Structure 1
Amino acid sequence: MPAAAPLLLLHAICWWPLVLFLLLPPLPLFALTNPPTFISLHDSRLNHLLQDSSSGYVYVGAVNALYHLSSDLQLISWGKTGPTLDSPDCLPPIEPKDCSQARQTDNINQLLLLEKQEGSQAQRLIVCGTVLQGICEKRSLANVSQVLYHTANPVDTQYVAANDPRVSTVAVLTEHRGTRLMLVGRGYTSKGPGGIPPITTRRLEQYHSSPAFSHEELGKLVVGSYSEYNNQFVKALHHGTHIYFLFSRRDTLKTRDYQTYISRLCAGDPSFYSYVEVPLSCTGGYNLAQAAAMGTYLGKATIFVAMAAGQASTPTPTARSALCAYSMEELDQALKRAQVLCYTQEGKGDKEKEAYIAYEVSSKCLKLPPVSHH
């Protein structure tokens, strides 16, 4: 495991203004003259949607199935992903004699990503579900019933997605020095193997003795007690030269309440040395992010976040919600300020301590020469 840098677990007390949209103008109504006739097979619930910009094909992750549609939403291929003999209390491969509680279990799609290989026509669909401790497989883009990669005997470092459908998993793909990587954010689950950090880096191909999708010898977010912070992930995105994660978690140092945070690390930083996070506030007491999307507001890159007010000190949202907008430029300024303060000023701003290590680890903010944070 790479040595942890002081910035690995940094968070800053920065509250930035936002735009709150409570009243939206009416949208124009329209109708399709020839609506698509696609109907999901097996009455399956749909979870994720992905479009290949080069072909126009649409891929849909569902419960126990994958669908491959044309640009006009006609079915091209489909594949089954479940149900599967499984139990969250047992490690795969599942053998009935060793796991008496195993039952035929629905496989809920958690991740659906398009893997593109630079300089090659090779493209594959990465599919990760809730069964078998969240292991992933690769499927053909031309025929999603065709499995190109699947491990029959996964090791514990290959468990990727949360094995509980109520716990979210997010991911984004990147590349570092020719190696294709997947950065994964997953929430805490009480059943199954422990010790899987909230954010991990995964190789998409086998590397020496480390199999595909393993986080062995790669960067990860080390926080101490995963259940204590109980991260609830909403979004992972690649913007500019950085990777961002949007999530809510419990503030264990002060209020014990749940708060939404955005974190950032350099896309070319597989060791997480550049990791930093700041909390997001939303006027009106909205503290739990529910969904997010990148867009533009007033000509600037903006992340729009659907926020809900939480129920007391729990991660459970109430029915009270709002749409909040955060300028990526201002967020980056806050994130950079937190880095600089923690590296060069022991976290101290002009009047008070603004940046500190928020997690239960031995790292602390330092006072290094100003050039050290670059």
Structure 2
Amino acid sequence: MIILHFTKTVFVIAMMARVTMSTPTRMSNADIYAVANFTDFNSEGFNHLMVHNVSGDVYIGGVNQLYRLNENLELVVNITTGPEYDDEDKTHDTFNKILACNYAGNDLITCGGYRGDCQIRHMEDLSETYSTDHPTYVAANMSDDSTIGFVAPHYHLGQQFLYVGTTSTSQNPGNPFVSGRQLEGDQVFEVFEDGNGNTRVDVTLPLTLIYSIRYVAGFNYNSYSYFVTIQQQPADSSSAYISKLVRVCQRAESNYFNSYTEVTLSCRDESYNLAQAAYITRPAQDLSQSLVLDDGEEVLFISFAVGVNNPPTPTTKSAICMYKMSDIERAFQDAVEGCMINDGPSV
């Protein structure tokens, strides 16, 4: 069963072909059908979708709306989150930028709005259980600017953090590119800082106007937080944009995000340069055996598109590539060792 996310409708699609790994097949329309769907005709669009890994409930963050559906895509709760009013009484639509579950606290984390602030919500009725009196800017506050966020541990502190990647622009110059936000204590949603360092990666203001990073997806694996990104290439490159995987450590005792490292993602050839979506999972037994995966090892699926540059725009030419996480970890290790040998920056 596969969940597909569309602009105003969510479908659950069942794929019914009976095939084996050794038998290539072409699936017909009769082999695929919709089991259930949910549509809100009054919505201006859906931004994010998340499936609870225990209950199977589906959470949707939309424009000015939040939804909770059951596993059959039947509406359980719907609340209105916007429009919002600024200090001059101007209205702003609330675009959901982050929709993440803190399983340790059984909370739903939502972020968005013209101020880019966040809330902690009850998983059942979506009511706010925490929001700041003075907004803490976390997400990009423009509808077209990217933000991704997910909850994962910070092992040294023994807490859950909200790891965030945000496009930094002239509209939100104070936002770090990558940050670890607190979900406990007196400074919820603030970037964690102490005398030894902090959990943020910044780029100075002049560079944010010419060096754009678009965040596509994020996930947690083996004590590291990963971010799938689209980045600009040097001016003399054949392609103006390329996809990269960014990593920061969750176990560092000091100088927390000095572990920031990037590796380039390649799919088929350089023309498939724009990552569109990513999903990490443990594949089924046949594929696990054919890939010779270690116990518990997962693989990363990323969909790519051939991009038209300036700004990066995906075309209809697309491909899906799969990466073993052991290969990705080895690539990061090689990148770190290369920087140490060449005395280069860890970027």
- Measured against the shorter chain, the TM-score band is 0.7 to 0.9
CA contact (8 A) 2:114 2:142 kept: no
Cα distance, 1:220 vs. partner?
A: 1.3
Change in 2 beyond 3 A, CA 1:271/1:159: same
Cα distance, 1:315 vs. partner?
A: 2.1
CA separation in 2, counterparts of 1:148 and 1:238?
25
Are 2:176 and 1:188 equivalent residues in the alignment? no
* 245-254 vs 260-269, which moves further: 245-254
Identity within the alignment, %: 30
Change in 2 beyond 3 A, CA 1:104/1:50: same
Corresponding residue number in structure 1 for 2:48 = 48
The one-letter code sitting in structure 1 at the alignment partner of 2:87 is E
CA separation in 1, counterparts of 2:77 and 2:94?
19
Cα distance, 1:266 vs. partner?
A: 2.2
Are 2:108 and 1:125 equivalent residues in the alignment? yes
CA separation in 2, counterparts of 1:78 and 1:286?
38
Corresponding residue number in structure 2 for 1:5 = none
Corresponding residue number in structure 2 for 1:175 = 153
CA contact (8 A) 2:170 2:208 kept: no
Corresponding residue number in structure 2 for 1:368 = none
Corresponding residue number in structure 1 for 2:62 = 62
CA contact (8 A) 2:213 2:231 kept: yes
Corresponding residue number in structure 2 for 1:278 = 263
Cα distance, 1:32 vs. partner?
A: 5.7
Corresponding residue number in structure 1 for 2:103 = 116
CA separation in 2, counterparts of 1:302 and 1:264?
16
Cα distance, 1:185 vs. partner?
A: 0.5
SS at match of 2:200: coil
Determine which structure has the larger strand proportion and give its number.
2
The one-letter code sitting in structure 2 at the alignment partner of 1:326 is Y
Corresponding residue number in structure 2 for 1:357 = 345
Are 2:233 and 1:251 equivalent residues in the alignment? yes
* CA RMSD across the alignment: 2.6
Corresponding residue number in structure 1 for 2:209 = 227
2:90 aligned to 85, 103, 110, which one?
Answer: 103
The one-letter code sitting in structure 1 at the alignment partner of 2:179 is T
Change in 2 beyond 3 A, CA 1:65/1:229: same
Write the deviation string for residues 58-110 of structure 1: whole angstroms up to 9, x where unpaired: 2111111111122222222221110111xxxxxxxx322xxxxx522211111
Corresponding residue number in structure 1 for 2:333 = 336
Cα distance, 1:44 vs. partner?
A: 4.0
Cα distance, 1:314 vs. partner?
A: 4.2
The one-letter code sitting in structure 2 at the alignment partner of 1:223 is V
Change in 2 beyond 3 A, CA 1:284/1:32: closer
2:137 aligned to 126, 134, 159, which one?
Answer: 159
SS at match of 1:333: helix
Write the deviation string for residues 270-297 of structure 1: whole angstroms up to 9, x where unpaired: 7113221111223151111111222445
Q: How many residues align?
A: 300
Structure 1: where are the runs of 5+ without partners? 1-22, 86-93, 97-101, 348-355, 360-374
Write the deviation string for residues 101-131 of structure 1: whole angstroms up to 9, x where unpaired: x5222111111111122xxxx41111111x2
Matches within 5 A, 1:298-337: 298-299=290-291, 300=293, 301-312=298-309, 314-337=311-334
Structure 2: where are the runs of 5+ without partners? 1-23
Corresponding residue number in structure 2 for 1:350 = none
Write the deviation string for residues 295-342 of structure 1: whole angstroms up to 9, x where unpaired: 445444332222222224642333333222223222211110111222
2:342 aligned to 346, 358, 374, which one?
Answer: 346
